[in-house]
Structure 1
Amino acid sequence: MGFRKVGVVGLGTMGAGIAEVLARGGVETVGVEINDAALERGRGNIEASTGRAVKRGRLSEEAQAEILGRVVFSTDFAALSDCDLVIEAVPERIDLKEKVFAELDKVCGPDAVLATNTSSLSVTEIAAATTRPDSIVGVHFFNPAPVMKLVEVIGTERSRPEFVSAVTELVRDLGKTPVTIGDRAGFVANRLLFGYLGPAARLLESGEAGKEDIDASMTAIGLPMGPLTLMDLIGLDTCLEVLEAIHRDSGEARHEPAALLRSLVAEGALGRKTGRGFYTYEKVGSGSVVNAVEGKASAEVSERLYGPYLQDAAEMVRSGYCDADSADAAMTLGCGFPVGPITELRNRGQWEQ
């Protein structure tokens, strides 16, 4: 089955990016927001993103006009009534997503596929807000959607296989790399990434290593950014939400968010977007750290954090949740790691499958 018209609910940075990807791929797209102000921000997000591509010579003005012409903007859920596929991209709150899906259940046709862009919540739980759980799939794009190649496609135990296949094919047609998996908190990329980020915060909390040393230890082995710097970039509130979702699912102590992380979030120190998180920044949104100190790399620290991450990936593949190529693609294409975990295990002589 092909998708003739696709809706996107929520046009923040992520939703607008998804709408842009669809429109760039020649798909008629409907973008829906909660009110006129949010709708105009969403329109502005798409115009700004495609405008940057024009300035860089990657897109002609004519092509930009065609892309924008494929997107219809509305504050009315009824505008989604004739869509074959609707992708929800509202903030990562289960109550909000359930509310959206209950509304989609009312307005969308009986054969429509309803998808959630959740990065860590249970697709099965979200689907329970509808009368058609077999029509619900997960389609997790990574930010920024126009640039990032990885998309996780999630089928629940009740999702119709042909719907999962159709969404996977759409993702491929859009020029992305799909990883198709089952429903599990954090899926592949965030399950592995936060199984590494969470312990980094706990290590800092323990006082056994300073933040600069923890970050330096990880960049020294080739990672593009230290874990605490990365958490500040993601947003500590988002990190807390993802860790809580994974911890609820796994029940493992190492997935429990550090008390330090909870206290920073409670204080409103959410990372770069507030000017303070694990680090203090020169201004809101800046990546420049006040009184920056060069950290000292430690092989002991890097292995303490990286070793368990590699074993998590090995367990994920051995359990049959995903294959080795998918684990590697998730971390290289989705998280920017220079090498995938299974490839790294092979390089170390620790993988024989």
Structure 2
Amino acid sequence: MTPWKLPSTAGRSVGILGAGVLGRRIGACWASAGYRVHIRDPDPQQTNAALQYITNELWRYKPVIDPNTISVHGFQDMKPAVEDSWLVIECVPERLDMKIDVFAELEGVTRSDAILASNSSSYKSREMTVKVKPETAQRMLNTHYMVPPAIRIVELMTSGSTREEIFPFLLEHFKASGMMPVIAHQESTGFILNRVWAAIKRECLMVLAERVATPEELDAVWTEMFIKNGSPPCTLMDSVGLDTVSLIEKHYIEERGLQDRGVLPFLQKYIDEGKLGAKSSKGGLYPPGHTVKTANQEQTSHDNLHAPALYFLDIGWNNDPDDVEFYRKGRILVGSADGRSPLRVIVDHLPMPDGIALSHKTGKIFWTNMGTPGQNDGSIMSCNLDGTGIRVVIPPGAVHTPKQLSVDQDNEVLYFSDREGMRVFRCGVDGSNLQTLVRAGDWRKGIDDPTSWCVGITVSAKEGKFYWTQKGPPKGSKGRIYRASIKMPEGYDASNRPDIEVVFEHLPEPIDLEMDEDGSALYWTDRGELPNGNSLNRATLNPDGSFSNHQVLARNLHEAIGLAIDKTTRHIYATDLGGAVYRFNMDGSGKQKFYEDQGAFTGIALLEQVDPSSSL
């Protein structure tokens, strides 16, 4: 038998199995040090979110290389992701049967010198060796990361038979990736820090389960006594996810023969209600959005784990109007939901971009270009989430002045409004089957009636309806919001369909639209005059299809345009031509403003983080 040798890292990747919260952060650690990283997750939406997290947030990891030269790739299949890896780290959910099967699969698709590591915090890697050969078990160990980039500790622990030479080898490479490695001298469920945390956490849960204190009271006294900066226990458990907390607690109880004094049933009530913590739109121990903070609020290592990446458009109006290229200065910008990440330009030289939307299934960005004012040269384009692969979806001239657009994620269909073209369209994400759904006028006979200009658009799959705005003239209070059925009535066309309804009228200048996740409320921006313009609005959709309780949630925006709702953390994002991105709670409170004075912003879209528990 050929003696085993430590693997060469030259030209080989670090494989990460699972694109959840820790998987993507572990990938960022290695990428920041110049290692080639492969992230594998069966869910392409998870993988896309992980790749964008690494690209957008790498600056937090203090990279030693040029961020533009990082090498990070996503995979859905196992073999191509890890077949050349010198190190593979599994970050799958805390289920022993799943981990055992993963390592058994890795044995067959990795090189014989590859080091195989588990990021588990509660299972020993010894327990994962039951389906692998003894020589494979000698390459296995635990490498448990905390929460980089703020907490850079990684705990290493043997499988009981891990080759001794692996530990100094990994210590060197972990330090090169910016981590602080520490070796557990004995096998131990929970390693070092987690054993201490497990005891504290269990008592905290018992205090809650026995109704001795509320989460707010417990965190308050803990903070006062032990922490002035950091994450108190209930906030920390919400950040991790109460389903994950429950799985870990169950394992501790079973292994150590502990008596469950009500902790698991207490957690199960939250889980049954879908209250998993920060990754759930229903919240957890705290209300939704509690653990996702914005600029000007205290930040900790567990904040913003589930905050979306922001994709928004700069129309280009901050440039010199005498520049012959003035109408081709538009850009697609990417930033973070707390405003702390530097803005990145991923596409530029665009002709007046206005609306933007993301397709989670295809990992594509779609946007509208209004084109040159007065000319029939609007277009729709797409690209990958990193700005590569730009292609034309709807060519110039097929539409006049396309504005906001919306993606029907389930059916991969684009809906968009055409302002001076006075139409609403629908087409496939590849531009096929372009259909006119609404024709409010004929641009060839004149475009001087702004009450017929179609601007915003959103789709309500629950109702089987789409909504659009016709904004009206400035200071005219003639703006309207309409709706019609997704399915065209038989025997009718875009000019005479009988199902068009006016749901709101006499609005200042309504622009972009969004329907809440459960279809219970319609939100829109209005760029018109105060007191009701320059605002964020909401109205309740009643069971009978009528609307009530129209509220102006926030005022004093500067020509509000783009609108997007984060359905996980329950926040609203908006942009304005004054050059700011805003974030609000769902009731309009908690207004935060960031990314000021870097453009004149139009459409906005979110790359939402899906459930960070890997779907492996």
Verify same fold: TM over 0.5: yes
In the TM superposition, residue 136 of structure 1 has moved relative to its aligned partner by 0.5
Amino acid at match of 2:40: V
**Distance change (3 Å), C-alpha of 1:255 and 1:137:** farther
- State the Cα deviation string for residues 170-227 of structure 1 (Å, max 9, x = none): 2122221111114322211222112101111111222333333322221111223432
1:58-73 equivalences in 2 (<5 Å):
63-67=66-70, 70-73=71-74
**Distance change (3 Å), C-alpha of 1:189 and 1:75:** same
In the alignment, what sits opposite 1:18? 26
- State the Cα deviation string for residues 268-322 of structure 1 (Å, max 9, x = none): 222233333223346853699x9xxxxxxxxxxxxxxxxxxxxxxxxxxxxxxxx
**Residues 113-122 or 243-252, more deviating:** 243-252
Amino acid at match of 1:167: L
Distance 1:256 1:152 in 2: 30
1:1-353 equivalences in 2 (<5 Å):
1=6, 3-4=9-10, 5=12, 6-34=14-42, 36-50=44-58, 53=59, 63-67=66-70, 70-79=71-80, 80-131=82-133, 132-143=136-147, 145-181=148-184, 182-223=186-227, 224-253=230-259, 257-274=263-280, 275-281=282-288, 284-285=568-569
In the TM superposition, residue 29 of structure 1 has moved relative to its aligned partner by 2.6
Distance 1:255 1:126 in 2: 29
Judge conservation of contact 1:119–1:187 (CA < 8 Å) in 2.
yes
Amino acid at match of 1:125: E
- State the Cα deviation string for residues 21-71 of structure 1 (Å, max 9, x = none): 112212233332325444333322222223xx2xx89669x811112xx22
Determine which structure has more spread, i.e. the larger CA radius of gyration.
2
Distance 1:98 1:57 in 2: 31
Judge conservation of contact 1:137–1:159 (CA < 8 Å) in 2.
yes
In the TM superposition, residue 241 of structure 1 has moved relative to its aligned partner by 1.3
User: Normalization by structure 1: what TM-score?
Assistant: 0.71
**Distance change (3 Å), C-alpha of 1:7 and 1:219:** same
- State the Cα deviation string for residues 98-144 of structure 1 (Å, max 9, x = none): 2221111001122211111112222111222322211101111122x
Distance 2:36 2:50 in 1: 17
Which ranges in structure 1 are unaligned for 5 or more consecutive residues?
291-353
Judge conservation of contact 1:39–1:74 (CA < 8 Å) in 2.
yes
Judge conservation of contact 2:16–2:89 (CA < 8 Å) in 1.
yes
Judge conservation of contact 1:7–1:87 (CA < 8 Å) in 2.
yes
In the TM superposition, residue 260 of structure 1 has moved relative to its aligned partner by 1.5
Amino acid at match of 1:227: P
Judge conservation of contact 2:250–2:264 (CA < 8 Å) in 1.
no
- State the Cα deviation string for residues 140-168 of structure 1 (Å, max 9, x = none): 1122x334210011112111111233222
Point out which structure has higher relative CO (alpha carbons under 8 A, 6+ apart). Answer: 1
RMSD: 3.0
Amino acid at match of 1:179: V
Distance 1:256 1:175 in 2: 40
Q: Which has the higher strand share?
A: 2
Amino acid at match of 1:142: M
Q: Aligned residues, how many?
A: 282
Distance 2:102 2:275 in 1: 29
Distance 2:267 2:244 in 1: 11
In the TM superposition, residue 82 of structure 1 has moved relative to its aligned partner by 2.5
**Distance change (3 Å), C-alpha of 1:48 and 1:96:** farther
Amino acid at match of 1:273: K
Residue 116 of structure 2 aligns to a residue whose secondary structure is strand
Q: Which has the higher helix share?
A: 1
| Identical-pair percentage | 27
Residue 185 of structure 1 aligns to a residue whose secondary structure is coil
Distance 2:251 2:143 in 1: 17
Amino acid at match of 2:86: D
Which ranges in structure 2 are unaligned for 5 or more consecutive residues?
1-5, 290-566, 572-584, 588-616
Distance 2:28 2:212 in 1: 45
Distance 2:45 2:278 in 1: 25
**Residues 85-94 or 26-35, more deviating:** 26-35
User: Normalization by structure 2: what TM-score?
Assistant: 0.42
